[in-house]
Amino acid sequence: MPLCLGSWPAIWMMPTYSVHGGWLKSGEIDIMEHVGYMPDKVHFTVHREKGSLGTAISLSDVTADFHVYALEWSKDKLD
């Protein structure tokens, strides 16, 4: 990840067809977001019409080392 203010690299998923309406009604899943002014945090969020659910983890080496980000989607949960 870049180490600078103003950067916001992200990996996200959105539906191809918004069958439930525009953004937020059809949802968005952020697999990884790295906000430049928080260099040691990586965020994971599910956005939906009723609000967003998410968390962040601390990684002291997020800007220096290679990391693999993934989402495992099962019937009952997202990991």
Q: Which of 29, 33, 34, 47 is catalytic?
A: 33
Q: Is 28 a catalytic residue?
A: yes
Buried b (16+ CB within 10 A) or exposed e, 53-64: eeeeeebeebee
Catalytic residue among 7, 26, 28, 63: 28
Catalytic-residue membership of 33: yes
d(CA 37, CA 32): 15
Active site residues: 28, 33
